[in-house]
Structure 1
Amino acid sequence: MAEALWGKAALWPGIGVGHFTDLEALTGCTVVLVEEGAVGAVDVRGAAPGTRETDLLQPENTVERVQAVLLTGGSAFGLAAAEGVVRYLAERGRGFPTPGGVVPIVPAAVLYDLGRGRVHRPPDGEAGYRAALASGSEPWEGSVGAGTGAVAGGVKGGVGLAGYALEEGYRVLALAAVNSLGRPFDPRTGRLYGEELLAEEERALLPDRSRYRGRPEDYRYPFLLGQNTTLAVVATDAPLSKAQAKRLAIMAQDGIARAIRPAHTPLDGDLVFALALGEGKGVDPYALLRLGAYAADAVTRAVLRAVLLAEGVPGLPAYRDLVG
Structure 2
Amino acid sequence: MTAGPTNSLLDVSGLRVGHWQQLDDHVTVAGEQPGTGAATGCTVILTDRPTVGAVDVRGGGPGTRETDLLDPSHSVRHVDAVLLTGGSAFGLAAADGVMRYLEEQGRGIPMGTPGAVVPIVPGAVIFDLPVGHWHTRPTADGGYAAAAAATDSVLPRGSVGAGTAARAGILKGGIGTASIRLTDGPAAGATVAALVVANPVGSVFDPRSGLPWGTTVELGLGTPTEEDLAAVNARGEKGTVLNTTIGVVATDAPLSKAACRRVAVAGHDGLARAIRPAHSPLDGDTLFALSTGTAELPVPEGVPDAFPTELPILAAVCVAAADAVERAIVDAVLSARSVAGIPSYFDTFPSARTL
1:41 aligns with 2:54: yes
Give the aligned partner of residue 14 of structure 1.
Answer: 14
Give the aligned partner of residue 187 of structure 1.
Answer: 207
Query: Post-superposition shift, 1:315?
Result: 2.5
Distance 2:319 2:254 in 1: 17
Give the aligned partner of residue 172 of structure 1.
Answer: 192
Query: Post-superposition shift, 1:99?
Result: 2.5
Secondary structure in structure 2 of the residue aligned to 1:68: strand
Distance 2:309 2:95 in 1: 31
1:153 aligns with 2:169: yes
Residue identity opposite 2:326 in structure 1: T
Secondary structure in structure 2 of the residue aligned to 1:85: helix
Query: Quick check: 157-166 or 7-16, which moved more?
Result: 7-16
Give the aligned partner of residue 281 of structure 2.
Answer: 266
Q: 1:283 to 1:232 in 2, by over 3 A?
A: farther
Residue identity opposite 1:151 in structure 2: R
Residue identity opposite 1:77 in structure 2: F
Residue identity opposite 1:60 in structure 2: S
Residue identity opposite 2:210 in structure 1: G
Does structure 1 retain, via aligned residues, the 8 Å contact 2:179–2:192? Answer: yes
Q: 1:266 to 1:9 in 2, by over 3 A?
A: closer
Residue identity opposite 1:313 in structure 2: V
Give the aligned partner of residue 76 of structure 1.
Answer: 89
Report sequence identity in percent. Answer: 50
Give the aligned partner of residue 304 of structure 2.
Answer: none
Query: Quick check: 267-276 or 184-193, which moved more?
Result: 184-193
Q: TM-score, normalised by structure 1?
A: 0.92
Residue identity opposite 1:83 in structure 2: D
Secondary structure in structure 1 of the residue aligned to 2:118: coil
1:57 aligns with 2:77: no
Does structure 2 retain, via aligned residues, the 8 Å contact 1:184–1:193? Answer: yes
Query: Post-superposition shift, 1:118?
Result: 4.5
Query: Quick check: 257-266 or 115-124, which moved more?
Result: 115-124
1:105 aligns with 2:120: yes
1:252 aligns with 2:267: yes
Does structure 2 retain, via aligned residues, the 8 Å contact 1:19–1:30? Answer: yes
Query: Post-superposition shift, 1:120?
Result: 2.5
Distance 1:159 1:215 in 2: 25
Query: Quick check: 116-125 or 3-12, which moved more?
Result: 3-12
Query: Post-superposition shift, 1:97?
Result: 1.6
Deviation readout 1:27-51 (Å, 9 max, x if unpaired): 1000011030110100000010001
Structure 2 unaligned segments of length 5 or more: list them: 25-37, 300-307, 351-355
Query: Post-superposition shift, 1:177?
Result: 0.3
Regions of 4+ moved over 6 Å: 215-218, 279-282
Aligned length: 316
Structure 1 unaligned segments of length 5 or more: list them: none
Distance 1:283 1:80 in 2: 40
Which protein shows a greater Rg?
2
Does structure 1 retain, via aligned residues, the 8 Å contact 2:20–2:142? Answer: yes
Does structure 2 retain, via aligned residues, the 8 Å contact 1:207–1:323? Answer: no
Residue identity opposite 1:178 in structure 2: A
Residue identity opposite 2:261 in structure 1: K
Distance 1:154 1:285 in 2: 40
Does structure 2 retain, via aligned residues, the 8 Å contact 1:10–1:161? Answer: no
Distance 1:286 1:41 in 2: 19
1:3 aligns with 2:2: yes
Secondary structure in structure 1 of the residue aligned to 2:245: strand
Distance 1:207 1:309 in 2: 16
Does structure 2 retain, via aligned residues, the 8 Å contact 1:188–1:216? Answer: no
Root mean square deviation of aligned Cα: 2.2
Distance 1:222 1:278 in 2: 40
Query: Quick check: 2-11 or 175-184, which moved more?
Result: 2-11
Residue identity opposite 1:3 in structure 2: T
Give the aligned partner of residue 136 of structure 2.
Answer: 121
Residue identity opposite 1:286 in structure 2: P
Query: Quick check: 263-272 or 112-121, which moved more?
Result: 112-121
Query: Post-superposition shift, 1:138?
Result: 4.6
Deviation readout 1:280-316 (Å, 9 max, x if unpaired): 9975212111100101100000000000000012431
Distance 1:166 1:154 in 2: 35
Distance 2:107 2:22 in 1: 27
Query: Post-superposition shift, 1:216?
Result: 9.9
